[in-house]
Amino acid sequence: MVDMTKLGDDAIAAKGWFKSHKFLILRRLSQLGILALFLTGPWFGIWIVKGNLASSLTLDFLPLTDPYVLLQAMLSGVVPETAAIIGVVIVLAFYFLVGGRVYCSWVCPVNMVTDLAAWLRRKLGIRTTSQISRSTRYWMLVLTLILPLVVAGGIIWELVNPVSMMFRGIVFGMGAAWIMVLGIFLFDLIVAKDGWCGHICPVGAFYNLLGSKSLLKVNAVQRQACNDCMECYVICPEPQVIKPALQGEKKGLSPVILSSDCTNCGRCIDICAKDVFSYGGRHAKKIDEYKREVEVNRGVRA
């Protein structure tokens, strides 16, 4: 059992505080930086990015459009403008390469709320579990895509979607949307670990599918060095993705975390005192294979 009060202490001792929080800091900078780009306009009159995550225009030149919301609009019968089509192609290509759920861990503002809830759970030792299945999000995704087809009144998910609601709220005005955000925080804190992002959110499910063949992956490249401290399982928002890569050596499984549930957040890289994990390509060679090759080559030379 991992001692929650000492979670991450090994890594700090081995690598220092900054190196053991590197990707966490970078992710927060990314999430807040994206918000800042949208906010310099309304706050200071310096227009860098206009709009919000649904659709935006950067420096009056680069259009970006969220494929999930556009898909819902198209299902309710919309033919998008050229700018939206260009924007959606760019976004699709980006997440297709870097991993769909990079959206969840590096862009989505709700992630900061649910991470906070998860951190508090660990601090307060809340261990509640719920019966909600991780596949619920796919059912939700199907539901949100069927609703525009069968119910008049358009993109119904966007009436309540907390992801777009929170981002739009910060940029355009929150109204009572903070209740929604608070609701998710309390749900994740009290009802279920990673309840929203890991189980229910259809936005994450969409990006999950989008990045199912993505190139950028976390790789348990030094898995021989693992000392079974289990801290990566505790810190990971989708811990089921780790096991095949970290402990699959005997079964001949790749050390690359192949599951598209992985959000590429890099917390496992940060928290590992033994530096087992690192970012790498999807088709990165197993380090053991690589070592063997080197040895073989040496043998040939000698």
Footprint of another protein (CB under 8 A): 41, 47, 50-52, 54-57, 63, 65-66, 69-70, 72-73, 76-81, 83-84, 87, 131-133, 135-136, 139-140, 142-143, 146-148, 151-160, 164-165, 168-169, 171-177, 179-180
Best CA proximity match to 37, nearest among 109, 85, 114? 109
Q: Which is nearer to another protein, 152 or 300 (CB)?
A: 152
Q: Which is nearer to another protein, 173 or 252 (CB)?
A: 173
- How far from the centroid of its chain's Cα atoms is residue 177's Cα? 22
Least distance to another protein, CB of residue 77, Å: 6
User: In degrees, to the nearest 5, what angle opens at C-alpha 49 toward C-alphas 44 and 53?
Assistant: 120
> Where do we find the tokens 């917390």?
267
Residue 227: what residue type?
N
Q: How many CB atoms lie within 10 A of CB 21?
A: 18
Least distance to another protein, CB of residue 73, Å: 5
Tokens coding 134: 């991780």
Q: Which is nearer to another protein, 16 or 175 (CB)?
A: 175
Least distance to another protein, CB of residue 189, Å: 21
Q: How many CB atoms lie within 10 A of CB 81?
A: 12
* Residue 134 exposed, middle or buried by CB count within 10 Å (0-12, 13-18, 19+): middle
Q: Which is nearer to another protein, 182 or 230 (CB)?
A: 182
DSSP category for residue 59: T
Q: Which is nearer to another protein, 134 or 274 (CB)?
A: 134
Is residue 228 within 8 Å of 272, Cβ to Cβ?
Answer: no
Q: Which is nearer to another protein, 171 or 246 (CB)?
A: 171
Residue 40: what residue type?
T
Q: Which is nearer to another protein, 25 or 186 (CB)?
A: 186
Tokens coding 195: 């309840």
- For residue 279, give Cα distances in angstroms to 79, 108, 218, 283, 290: 39, 20, 4, 12, 17
Q: Which is nearer to another protein, 165 or 269 (CB)?
A: 165
Least distance to another protein, CB of residue 85, Å: 9
Least distance to another protein, CB of residue 258, Å: 23
Report the DSSP pairing between strands 55-58 and 49-52: antiparallel
Q: Helix, strand, or coil here: 288?
A: helix
Cα–Cα distance for residue pair 56/87, rounded to 1 Å? 8
* Residue 239 exposed, middle or buried by CB count within 10 Å (0-12, 13-18, 19+): middle
